[in-house]
Every structure is written in C-alpha cells, then in structure tokens.
Amino acid sequence: AQSVTQLGSHVSVSEGALVLLRCNYSSSVPPYLFWYVQYPNQGLQLLLKYTTGATLVKGINGFEAEFKKSETSFHLTKPSAHMSDAAEYFCAAASGTALIFGKGTTLSVSS
Amino acid sequence: DADVTQTPRNRITKTGKRIMLECSQTKGHDRMYWYRQDPGLGLRLIYYSFDVKDINKGEISDGYSVSRQAQAKFSLSLESAIPNQTALYFCATSPKGARAPYNEQFFGPGTRLTVL
C-alpha cells in the first residue's frame, strides 16, 4: 500500500533562512505527488504538484520541490523563509482513487 | 465566493447526538471527498463519491455515513456522535477522468467539530 512519510513534525527556521521539509513515499510505481499548505484556521491550499516530466517543480510563494525516484523523495524547499510561511505543510501522493497524506510538518519562522 | 463551502464552520455537540456536516461546491467537479484531520495524524479519508450514484468507504468510515444529494452537494453524518470524533473535518472535490488523472483535490475551509 502507498504511504507517505514526512520527517519532522515541527521545523523551525529564522527569517531569511533556507526551508527544507522532507517527504518520502513508498510505491513500486512513482505516484503523482503534491505539497499542500494549511494556514491557521483555513483549508488546504495546493503549493505544487509533480505529475510527469521535469523533476524540479516550482510552486507558489517561492517554493519548489524535486522528485527523486532513486530516493523515493519529494522534498520541499524555499531559499529564504518569510514570516508568512509559518503554517502546516502536507505532502500527499495520489494512489488510485484517493490522496494519501503524510502527517504534516509545522513550520515556524522566527524573526 | 468560495468554490467549496462547508457548513457549519464550528459545532459543539453532545455524545449520542446526530449531526450532519454539509459541503457544497460550485467547481462543477464530479468527485467529492470527506476527510478528518487530527493533530499529528494528518488527513484521513472517511468517504468519497465519484458521482451521485457512486459512494465508497475510505480508510475510517466506521461511525459515519454520507449522502450525495446532487453533483454539488455531499453531506457527512454522525448518527450517534462520540468524543473521539472530535476533529477538524474537510470536504474536497476533484474533476474526473482526463481533466485530472492525477487526482488534484480542492479543499473547503473545514468544520471544527467538538463532541462532549
């Protein structure tokens, strides 16, 4: 069965620092992969997605992720964190009829 | 206007009560989903529906039921609420078939349910 693992339930960075949120998936067939962001008291918003083609995917708000088949990873990065990036981030994989979500990583940004 | 709306946004109820959460969408999508979110557990699928006559159980359907009243409406019911159903509930939609083979989903704002 497909599964998604997010390493680190909580990541803290300083404003201007690199953001790295880790996601690994388990599947014999590379799935479609997504990163969603959830701001406080809001629903989930799509940041970016990998379907086919280019393995480096750019999303909204300066985020990007790289699909690495050999490492079964889809880590999310942003070169310079902003206070407004503080939120919960979910990695997800499309598996047949449904999305399988990781447990989420809360990103805190300090000034 | 929001494409996916959920009502109510917040609800407090008592053990044993019946409660219904409603979801409506104006995106014209065929597929609709109900998830619950618990701290540290991410989102888990309760039920999903690919059209009005196609309803399927998800990972954690016990204690829940659903109704797809129309393409645009998908309701989640708790027949007899219990405290461990306290959670944040999300509705989501997605188009079917060739328009989105990779199943990107669009989420409502959530309903925070507390069962005392």
B32 pLDDT higher than 60: yes
Contact A34 B110 (CB under 8 A): no
Q: What's residue A1's pLDDT?
A: 67
Summarize pLDDT for B61-102 with one digit per residue, the tens: 999 999 999 999 999 999 999 999 999 999 999 887 654 556
> How do B31-38 and B42-51 pair as beta strands?
antiparallel
> CA of B103: which chain A residue's CA is closest?
A94
**Mean pLDDT within A30-58:** 89
Summarize pLDDT for A9-35 with one digit per residue, the tens: 999 999 999 999 999 998 766 678 999
**Mean pLDDT within B46-66:** 93
Q: Do residues B80 and B99 touch, judged by C-beta distance below 8 A?
A: no
Give the integer Cα–Cα distance in Å for B78 and B62: 10
Q: Report residue B37 as tokens.
A: 């979110």
Q: What's residue A30's pLDDT?
A: 65
Q: How many CB atoms lie within 10 A of CB A82?
A: 13
Q: What's residue A54's pLDDT?
A: 85
Give the integer Cα–Cα distance in Å for B90 and B112: 9
Give the integer Cα–Cα distance in Å for A50 and A53: 8
Q: What's residue B40's pLDDT?
A: 84
Interface of B with A (CB under 8 A): 4, 33, 40-45, 48, 50, 56, 58, 90, 92, 102-110
A97 pLDDT higher than 80: no
Q: pLDDT band at A98, cuts 50/70/90?
A: confident
Shortest alpha-carbon distance between residue B22 and chain A (Å): 15
If you search the block for the tokens 């925070």, which residue do you land on?
Answer: B112
Give the integer Cα–Cα distance in Å for B78 and A22: 35
Shortest alpha-carbon distance between residue A35 and chain B (Å): 11
B7 pLDDT higher than 90: yes
Q: How many helices (H) and strands (E) does chain B have?
A: 0, 11
